[in-house]
Amino acid sequence: MKKNFLLAIILLTLVSFLANCLVKDDNNIANQNYLLSGETLYQVSTINAMLAGNFDGARTFAELKEQGDFGIGIIHALDGEMIALDGMFYQLNVDGQAHPVSDQMKTPFAVVTFFETDESLSIEDGPFSFSSLQKSIDALRTNKKIFYAIRIDGEFEFVRTRSFMAQEKPYPKLLKVLRSKQPFQRFESVKGTIVGFWFPKYMGGIRVFGYHFHFINEERTRGGHVLDFRLVKGKIEIDRTPKIYIDIIAPKEFE
C-alpha cells in the first residue's frame, strides 16, 4: 500500500513538472514570436521612471539586440545617448563621439524594433528645416493611434545635437539634468542617418509623445540627440508599428 502511495506521489510530481515545462516553453515561444515581430516595438522602462532618476541599466545590449536592429535609448547612469542602426548599436557621448557598445553594457531606457519600410519619400532641392520635414512625415502617418519608426538618410546642411553627461549616485531627477548646463554639438555639411520614433499622446508617462530623434554620421563616429537640422537631400522611410511591448523593471529600492 505504501509503495503504491509513493508511486502515485512520484507520478503526480512528474506530471506536474512536465506540465510546467510545457507551459513555460509555450509561453517562451509565444513571447518570442510576439517580441521579434517587425510589427512590435520593444521598450525598456518608462519615461516616468526616467523622470524619477532611475538611471541604472536594466537590460544588457545583448538582450536588446534580440528584440530589434533599429532604435534609440540611453546608456547606464545616463552616460550618453544610444542609437541602433542596421543591427549596430552605438554610444553617443557628451562630446559627440560615437563608439560601438559591448553586449555586456546596459541600458535603463530604450526603444527598438526590426525596421521594415512601409512608406518612403525622396527629398530633393533642399535644404528643408526640421519643422517642415515633420509636416512631410505627418502626411505619411495616416493612422494617428499607432506608433511609427522613422529613418532619414541624407545630406544635411547641419545637425545640432546634445548627449547626456554621466551621472553619479544618488542620481538627480531627469529634469534637473536637462536644466543643467550641457555642451551642444553642431555638425556642418554632414552625411548621415537620423533614427527615431513618433508616439501618440495617449502614451504620455510611458513615453514622450511626438517625435524623438537621434543622429549618427555616415562614418559612424559622431552623433547625438537631435535638436535641430536642415536636410539638403535624402530619403525618409517609415515603419508603421501597431504593437508595443513594455519591459518594466522595478528599481532596486522597490524590489
The CA distance from 136 to 134, in Å, is: 5
The one-letter code for the residue type at 45 is S
Q: Which of 97, 74, 127 is nearest to 187 (CA)?
A: 97
pLDDT in tens, 3-55: 444 443 333 333 333 333 333 333 343 344 444 556 899 999 999 999 999 99
**Is residue 98's pLDDT more than 80?**
yes
Q: Which of 124, 153, 141, 152 is nearest to 233 (CA)?
A: 124
Yes or no: say if 147 and 60 are a contact pair by the CB < 8 Å rule: no
**Percent residues over pLDDT 90 in the chain:** 77
Average pLDDT for 120-136: 94
pLDDT in tens, 60-76: 999 999 999 999 999 99
pLDDT in tens, 154-178: 999 999 999 999 999 999 999 999 9
Amino acid 208: pLDDT: 87
In SS3 terms, the chain reads as: CHHHHHHHHHHHHHHHHHHHHHHHHHHHHHHHHHHCCCCEEEEECCHHHHHCCCCCCCEEHHHHHCCCCEEEEECHHHCCEEEEECCEEEEECCCCEEEECCCCCEECCEEEECCCCCEEEEECCCCEEHHHHHHHHHHHCCCCCCEEEEEEEEEEEEEEEECCCCCCCCCCCHHHHHHCCCCEEEEEEEEEEEEEEEECHHHCCCCCCEEEEEEEECCCCEEEEEEEEEEEEEEEEEEEECEEEEECCCCHHHC
**Percent residues over pLDDT 70 in the chain:** 83
pLDDT in tens, 195-254: 999 999 999 889 889 999 999 999 999 999 999 999 999 999 999 999 999 998 766 554
Amino acid 37: pLDDT: 58
pTM, entire model: 0.85
Q: Bridge partners of 29?
A: none
Amino acid 254: pLDDT: 47
What the block records as the C-alpha cell of 154 is 541624407
Domains and CATH numbers, the chain: 40-250 (3.30.1330.80)
Amino acid 27: pLDDT: 37
- Give the sign of the dihedral formed by CA 243, CA 210, CA 78, CA 105: positive
